[in-house]
Amino acid sequence: MREGTEEKMSRIIAGAAGGLRLASVPGDNTRPTTDRVKESLFSKLESYGVLEGARVLDVYGGSGALGCEAASRGAASVEIVDKYPKAVRTIQRNVDAVVRACSVSGLNPQVKVRHSSARTYLSGTLDVWDIVFVDPPYALPNEQVVEDLQQIAPHLAEGAIVVVERSARDSEPVWPKSVRRFAAKNHGETAVYYLEPDAAELSAEPVLGIAEKEN
């Protein structure tokens, strides 16, 4: 979920629900990740081979665009979290539409919508994830993003990827030691960072090493 005044219309880019138009959260305070950014980041995730059968968390859901895209592209389970009632209602509407579209193609992604703040949800969950999307409002301080990542890190599977979106005008966060950035790309106003669990923290090498990911 991010602040801004850009075009708010969004759609599912590819997969079983490809082309489906998504509802937007009413008001001017939230908008989904733009289709251009979404297409780029999901192309990168698909190149790593991590989407099929993945366990996915979308921790600042907004309209649920990222979690819904993951479900359309073959994720096994998706949790989408947001604390705002309007956002939660919009997410549920989009999830219902995507799940229906997936069922026509024989897919059955398990998608759950959680009405909770990121901090509360992360402090209470026992789940493990292969992909985590962290796309908070641009106004959220980097320090809070880092705290979220510290809570997320113990729940990352071997070879997991965390995708963080921030304003390209802001400085890059100082990442916690539990994760490390292996790639980054700017898309106009949006900076996208790709993180993986630190191998030393997990006492094991990730399935996709840094060198492999950058090639």
Residue 2 lies in a domain: no
- Token duo for residue 1: 């979920």
Question: How confident is the model over 56-113, as pLDDT tens digits?
Answer: 999 999 999 999 999 999 999 999 999 999 999 999 999 999 999 999 999 999 999 9
Residue 3 lies in a domain: no
33 pLDDT higher than 90: no
Residue 1 lies in a domain: no
Q: Which regions of the chain does DSSP assign to beta strands (E)?
A: 10-11, 21-22, 55-58, 77-82, 110-115, 129-134, 156-167, 179-187, 190-197
- Give the range of the structural domain holding residue 83, as residue numbers without chain letter: 10-214
Residues 6+ apart with CB under 8 A from 86: 25, 26, 27
**What is the total count of domains within the chain?**
1
Question: How confident is the model over 154-213, as pLDDT tens digits?
Answer: 999 999 999 999 999 999 999 999 999 999 999 999 999 999 999 766 554 444 443 344
Residue 90 lies in a domain: yes
Residue 195 lies in a domain: yes
- Token duo for residue 66: 């990222």
Q: How many Cβ atoms from other residues are within 10 Å of residue 147's Cβ?
A: 15
CA distance 67 to 133: 8
Question: How confident is the model over 126-142, as pLDDT tens digits?
Answer: 999 999 999 999 999 99
| CATH code where residue 139 lies | 3.40.50.150
CA distance 128 to 167: 28
* Cα maximum dimension of the chain: 45
Chain centroid, CA 62 distance in Å? 11
C-alpha pair distances (Å), 37 with each of 10, 42, 152, 164, 185: 11, 9, 23, 12, 10
- Please give the model's pTM, rounded to 2 decimal places: 0.89
